[in-house]
């Protein structure tokens, strides 16, 4: 058994990298609110593919908050044996109290390593409801094996929604020791402010525009091509409309730009990249569109509801995200024209309500979620 080295409970958060994304934003929201006299986070990054000059978006803040960042080589590039050796070395040297892994199926390997080096608390966290990799015999065997490893080596099973939990842990485990951990936010920081809206829209030069917005990294599951198709229809009907796309590039942004050029709407699409002022940008939007092919429980949809904005969302997303009446689910089988008509219903001003109380009552207040996790980390 590993002896404690730290006065505080030391938690190793295992992630891909700490760029701005749903998982990473959730972890930073927790990290800012958790009692750091009792608990400290370190971060183990299993891929540096999207780092810029070796740094990720949240690295500086993590260091300022007292955390350490470790990077190991991506197992896809160096092989599993080297990856295991690197991870084991970090866990053994640092002697953590808790390992909390957010690496989907790879959680199985991560938690087995943690168990082998004697770490008592080993948490698997599911953030998605589908494996995006193409199904093959090899992939199917991998899924089955990793899910078994997770169940064998985890001491706790977490997920962002029942749908995400069911995919990774199965129906049997849904009835036992699986827990939903809500993707908490600070609701009050998103409350609609008409003066702020006008200021942001003036700064962006979109004051007289009908603004459709989307937040999500440029990766296939976010369905950006379909968003462009939807927007083309809207633009043909309402010439003073524009599309705001916020998010980092996960390898396909250039393809989406090419499609926007091909469809003749590029000049009306704002590719805004990664932003830190999400709460302000939500104020500037008129409708939030989110036609993802699969998700866990997107924190951006919680933030959008907190800002009082109408959200048109694919019906594959868990209905647990519907905290308010602002969410409307639509099937991805429906055409871009059908989606566009639903969005254009809101092309005239509607009253943006304060939904803070609803968000908090539903358990998505970050203070409450942080306190809940804190107790789980330090309890016996």
Residue with token string 């609803």: 358
Classified as helix, coil or strand, 171 is helix
> Torsion angle of alpha carbons 59, 61, 67, 73, nearest 10°?
-10
CATH number corresponding to 9-184+365-378: 3.40.50.2000
Q: Which of 292, 289, 294 is CA-nearest to residue 309?
A: 289
Classified as helix, coil or strand, 319 is helix
Q: Which of 15, 17, 11 is CA-nearest to residue 41?
A: 11
| pLDDT score, position 51 | 63
| pLDDT score, position 52 | 67
Written as six digits, the tokens of 192 are 């609609």
Angle at 47 between CA 23 and CA 185, to 5 degrees: 10
Q: What phi, psi does 281 have (nearest 5°)?
A: -65, -35
Written as six digits, the tokens of 95 are 């002697």
Q: Which of 234, 245, 242 is CA-nearest to residue 206?
A: 242
| pLDDT score, position 157 | 96
| pLDDT score, position 6 | 47
Residues of the chain with CATH 3.40.50.2000: 9-184+365-378, 187-361
Radius of gyration of the chain (CA): 21
pLDDT along the chain (380 residues), means of 10: 63 95 93 96 85 82 97 91 96 95 97 97 94 82 95 96 92 77 95 95 95 95 97 95 93 95 97 94 97 93 97 95 97 98 92 96 96 92
**Quick one: fold of 187-361?**
Rossmann fold (3.40.50)
380 vs 375: CA distance, rounded Å: 9
254 vs 246: CA distance, rounded Å: 14
Q: State the CB neighbour count (10 A cutoff) for residue 357.
A: 9
Written as six digits, the tokens of 42 are 């370190």
26 vs 164: CA distance, rounded Å: 15
375 vs 138: CA distance, rounded Å: 39
76 vs 114: CA distance, rounded Å: 20
Query: For residue 314, what are the contacts with CB-CB under 8 A and spacing of at least 6?
Result: 223, 290, 291, 292, 293, 329, 330, 331, 332
Written as six digits, the tokens of 247 are 């998010």
pTM for the full predicted model: 0.90
Strand arrangement, sheet containing 287-290: 269-273, 241-246, 210-215, 287-290, 310-314, 327-330
């Amino acid at each position: 058994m590993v002896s404690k080295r730290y006065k505080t409970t030391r938690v190793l958060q295992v992630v891909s990298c700490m760029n701005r994304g749903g998982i990473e934003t959730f972890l930073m929201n927790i990290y800012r609110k958790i009692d750091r006299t009792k608990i400290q986070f370190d971060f183990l990054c299993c891929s540096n593919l999207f780092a810029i000059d070796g740094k990720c978006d949240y690295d500086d803040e993590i260091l300022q908050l007292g955390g350490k960042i470790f990077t190991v080589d991506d197992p896809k590039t160096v092989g599993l044996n080297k990856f295991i050796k690197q991870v084991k070395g970090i866990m053994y040297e640092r002697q953590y109290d808790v390992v909390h892994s957010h690496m989907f199926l790879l959680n199985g390997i991560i938690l087995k390593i943690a168990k082998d080096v004697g770490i008592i608390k080993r948490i698997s966290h599911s953030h998605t409801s589908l494996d995006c990799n193409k199904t093959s015999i090899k992939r199917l065997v991998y899924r089955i094996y990793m899910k078994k490893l997770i169940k064998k080596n985890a001491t706790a099973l977490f997920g962002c929604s029942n749908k995400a939990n069911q995919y990774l842990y199965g129906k049997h485990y849904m009835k036992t020791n699986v827990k939903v951990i809500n993707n908490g936010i600070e609701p009050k920081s998103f409350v609609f402010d008409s003066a702020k809206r006008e200021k942001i829209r003036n700064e962006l030069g979109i004051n007289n525009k009908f603004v459709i917005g989307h937040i999500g990294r440029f990766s296939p599951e976010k369905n950006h091509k379909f968003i462009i198709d939807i927007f083309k229809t809207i633009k043909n009907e309402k010439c003073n409309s524009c599309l705001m796309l916020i998010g980092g590039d996960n390898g396909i942004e250039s393809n989406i730009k090419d499609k926007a050029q091909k469809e003749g709407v590029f000049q009306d699409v704002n590719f805004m990249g990664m932003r830190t002022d999400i709460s302000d940008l939500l104020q500037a939007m008129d409708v939030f569109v989110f036609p993802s092919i699969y998700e866990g429980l997107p924190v951006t949809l919680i933030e959008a509801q907190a800002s009082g904005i109408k959200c048109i969302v694919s019906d594959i997303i868990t209905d647990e995200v519907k905290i308010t009446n602002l969410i409307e689910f639509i099937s991805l089988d429906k055409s871009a024209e059908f989606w566009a008509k639903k969005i254009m219903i809101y092309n005239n001003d509607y009253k943006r309500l304060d939904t803070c109380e609803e968000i908090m009552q539903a358990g998505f207040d970050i203070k409450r979620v942080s306190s809940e996790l804190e107790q789980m980390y330090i309890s016996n």
